[in-house]
């Protein structure tokens, strides 16, 4: 039995229909197309091709995997195809990008998020990693560009980036090692294409199956170059022991490139040696595997210039393609805060910003109505307290008399720092990422923005860098809604009521970045609640609320009626 880790929790895995169903559902979702699942006879190395229409033939696919795994190597392609054909011309699209490791795993992930799935395919160090994308990507060039960059950056197998790649499903048998493939990590979070934008470009052009057509004969190549004694001894070897054949082919490729051979000449030499050493000979993917060795060796001997400019991972859509995308806005609080939204709640000191935010955190955790807003689904959130210490916040929440509730215990989490988290600091960002990965919130509430940053929030540079982390990591990578308690500028002559969007304290970048901005202002015994900005819905008119003795709130006037379009302020939901 293998184990797999879901964000810190270990579960047993067997090759059961339910688990394979969950695995394939994660990869292919509600798309339609054909899944490629070939098998290989481990004795004869003969390949057989099988295709299954997804999702109509899902059960047949799962039965096929279970039926053949005891006698054959079983593979599948993580991409869907438009017909019963696994060539690149039939590529339909994929929900994932991937990398395959052939014995050595990276020590750290720099500029790369943790994979959604890790599968150990045989012995230790042999793993397949997948990153789930936010949507189904139909552009083959983008998929291969990201997979190439991941492969090169993480020093993975440089033959395994192609869009029609086949890998091993979990729970199947790797016959040579007699080990079952094990699912080691499963994380349902998705990643945007922008997540991979910081990966370095390749210094070489990675060779694919169609890049070398004419392969020269071997003996004229031998006569053309001067071989060292070590190189000629290696090449003349009649056989290489199992477990050493791949490294022997790689060493030969290095010798070839050190002598100045072209990629085509090196491929010819590798073919000749592999026919004797029998590492990939007779396999359908022999050329791909040998090209992977050439790619690896060439990355260390980059003498051939890149033939063309590298492709960009940024997707440009036609109008028709863009409108046909399946992404939709999902609401945490309908017409107030959407998933991945960024909200600011501002107001002068003592008006109740922390209390209202805690009430929202409570109601979001329980999926209950608050003031005029329905909250349809309970969601896990973390309240990060920096203006109040642990004991102060505990006293405060005892005064609020929140009623104990199973959903509240499960979904409302508290991080009582009592000091700045320093969101602009890379080390602090890494620590916060660990918290998010462990507790898996769907939203995070910071009290407050100024303390959270911990530096000069009037600095455009500091705020831009902070927002870049909030947007790229918290919102896009982790999919969180982010809520900040914030403060307006102090009253000044000519502006006795600083409750406009431009009155938010600090750099104007923050006000322009938020998707929802709410202002609180004291009016006698009442609190006026105003909408300063609502990007994804129509703004509502100011209305009044009052604080109750148990530090709750009730509306006393009107409620948040939508403003007529003619009265919409200049900073409206149409502005980005």
Of 531, 541, 546, 39, nearest to 284 (Cα)?
39
Q: 306 pLDDT exceeds 60? A: no
* Structure confidence at residue 313 as a pLDDT band (50, 70, 90): low
Most confident of 9-23, 188-202, 334-348: 334-348
150-154, 328-332, 567-571: least confidently modelled range:
567-571
Who has greater pLDDT, 265 or 325?
Answer: 265
Average pLDDT over residues 131-140: 90
* pLDDT, position 307: 42
pLDDT digits (tens, 9 = 90+) for 537-556: 999 899 999 998 888 999 98
Report how far residue 252's alpha carbon sits from residue 205's, in angstroms, rounded to the nearest whole number. Answer: 20
* pLDDT, position 493: 64
> Which domains are delineated in the chain?
2-196 (3.30.70.1790), 218-300 (no CATH), 332-567 (3.40.50.300)
* Structure confidence at residue 567 as a pLDDT band (50, 70, 90): very low
Q: 4 pLDDT exceeds 70? A: no
* pLDDT, position 305: 43
pLDDT digits (tens, 9 = 90+) for 209-259: 778 878 889 988 999 999 999 999 999 999 888 878 888 999 999 999 999
Q: 531 pLDDT exceeds 90? A: yes
CB 206 within 8 A of CB 152: yes
* pLDDT, position 561: 52
Of 201, 317, 222, nearest to 265 (Cα)?
222
Who has greater pLDDT, 463 or 5?
Answer: 463
* Structure confidence at residue 366 as a pLDDT band (50, 70, 90): very high
Residue 470: DSSP 8-state:
I
pLDDT digits (tens, 9 = 90+) for 467-503: 999 998 899 888 899 999 999 988 766 667 778 888 8
Q: 11 pLDDT exceeds 50? A: no
* pLDDT, position 304: 46
* pLDDT, position 12: 37
- What percentage of the chain carries pLDDT values higher than 70? 91
Mean per-residue pLDDT of the chain: 87
Report how far residue 461's alpha carbon sits from residue 555's, in angstroms, rounded to the nearest whole number. Answer: 40
**Which pair of structure tokens corresponds to residue 256?**
């070839």
Alpha helices (H) along 459-562: 460-469, 508-513
pTM here? Answer: 0.56
Average pLDDT over residues 77-95: 93
* pLDDT, position 49: 94
| 439 burial via Cβ count (<10 Å: 0-12, 13-18, 19+) | middle
* pLDDT, position 121: 93
Average pLDDT over residues 273-286: 87
* pLDDT, position 345: 97
* pLDDT, position 557: 60
Q: 573 pLDDT exceeds 50? A: no
CB 132 within 8 A of CB 189: yes
* pLDDT, position 311: 57
* pLDDT, position 489: 85
SS (H, E, C) 190-228: CECHHHHCCCCCCCCCCCCCCCCCCCCCHHHHHHHCCCC
Q: 188 pLDDT exceeds 90? A: no
Q: 147 pLDDT exceeds 80? A: yes
Report how far residue 465's alpha carbon sits from residue 473's, in angstroms, rounded to the nearest whole number. Answer: 12
Written as one string, the DSSP assignment of 355-396 is HHHHHHHHHHHHT--BTTB---S---EEEEESSS-HHHHHHH
* pLDDT, position 384: 97
* Structure confidence at residue 312 as a pLDDT band (50, 70, 90): low
**Which pair of structure tokens corresponds to residue 362?**
């409570």
**Which pair of structure tokens corresponds to residue 456?**
């000069």
Query: Where do we find the tokens 């994932």?
Result: 96
């Amino acid at each position: 039995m293998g184990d797999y880790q879901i964000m810190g929790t270990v579960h047993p895995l067997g090759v059961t229909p339910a688990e394979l169903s969950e695995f394939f559902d994660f990869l292919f979702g509600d798309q339609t197309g054909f899944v490629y699942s070939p098998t290989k006879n481990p004795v004869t190395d003969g390949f057989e091709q099988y295709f299954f229409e997804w999702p109509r033939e899902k059960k047949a696919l799962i039965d096929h995997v279970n039926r053949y795994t005891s006698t054959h190597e079983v593979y599948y392609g993580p991409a869907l195809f438009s017909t019963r054909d696994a060539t690149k011309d039939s590529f339909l699209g994929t929900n994932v990008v991937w990398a395959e490791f052939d014995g050595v795993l990276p020590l750290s992930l720099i500029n790369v998020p943790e994979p959604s799935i890790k599968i150990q395919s045989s012995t230790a160090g042999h793993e397949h990693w997948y990153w789930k994308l936010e949507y189904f990507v139909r552009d083959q060039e983008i998929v291969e560009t990201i997979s190439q960059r991941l492969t090169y950056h993480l020093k993975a197998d440089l033959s395994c980036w192609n869009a029609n790649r086949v890998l091993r499903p979990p729970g199947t048998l790797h016959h040579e090692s007699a080990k079952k493939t094990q699912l080691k990590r499963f994380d349902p979070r998705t990643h945007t294409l922008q997540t991979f934008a910081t990966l370095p470009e390749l210094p070489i052009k990675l060779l694919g199956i169609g890049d070398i057509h004419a392969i020269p004969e071997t003996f004229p190549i031998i006569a053309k170059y001067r071989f060292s004694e070590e190189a000629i001894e290696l090449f003349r070897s009649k056989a290489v022991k199992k477990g050493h054949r791949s490294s022997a082919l790689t060493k030969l490729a290095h010798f070839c490139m050190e002598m100045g051979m072209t990629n085509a000449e090196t491929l010819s030499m590798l073919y000749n040696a592999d026919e004797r050493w029998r590492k990939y000979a007779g396999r359908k993917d022999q050329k791909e595997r040998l090209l992977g060795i050439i790619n690896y060796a060439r990355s260390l001997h980059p003498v051939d210039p890149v033939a063309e400019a590298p492709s960009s991972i940024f997707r440009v859509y036609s109008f028709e393609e863009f409108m046909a995308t399946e992404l939709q806005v999902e609401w945490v609080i309908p017409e107030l805060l959407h998933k991945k939204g960024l909200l600011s709640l501002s107001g002068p000191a003592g008006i109740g910003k922390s209390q209202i935010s805690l009430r929202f955190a409570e109601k979001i955790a329980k999926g209950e109505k608050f003031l005029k807003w329905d909250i349809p689904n309970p969601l896990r959130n973390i309240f990060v307290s920096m203006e109040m210490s642990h004991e102060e916040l505990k006293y405060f929440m005892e005064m609020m008399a929140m009623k104990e509730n199973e959903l509240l215990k499960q979904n409302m989490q508290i991080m009582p720092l009592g000091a700045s988290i320093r969101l602009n600091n890379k080390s602090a960002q890494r620590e916060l990422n660990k918290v998010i990965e462990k507790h898996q919130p769907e939203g995070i509430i910071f009290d407050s923005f100024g303390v959270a940053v911990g530096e000069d929030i009037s600095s455009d540079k500091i705020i831009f860098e902070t927002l870049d982390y909030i947007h790229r990591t918290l919102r896009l990578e982790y999919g969180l809604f982010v809520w900040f308690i914030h403060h307006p500028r102090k009253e000044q002559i000519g502006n006795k009521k600083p409750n406009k969007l431009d009155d938010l304290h600090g750099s104007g970048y923050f006000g322009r970045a938020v998707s929802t901005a709410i202002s609180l202002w004291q009016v006698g015994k009442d609190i006026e609640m105003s909408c300063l900005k609502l990007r994804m819905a129509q703004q509502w008119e100011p209305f009044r609320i009052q604080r109750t003795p148990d530090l709750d709130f009730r509306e006393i006037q009107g409620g948040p009626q939508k403003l007529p379009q003619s009265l919409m302020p200049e900073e409206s939901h149409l502005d980005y």
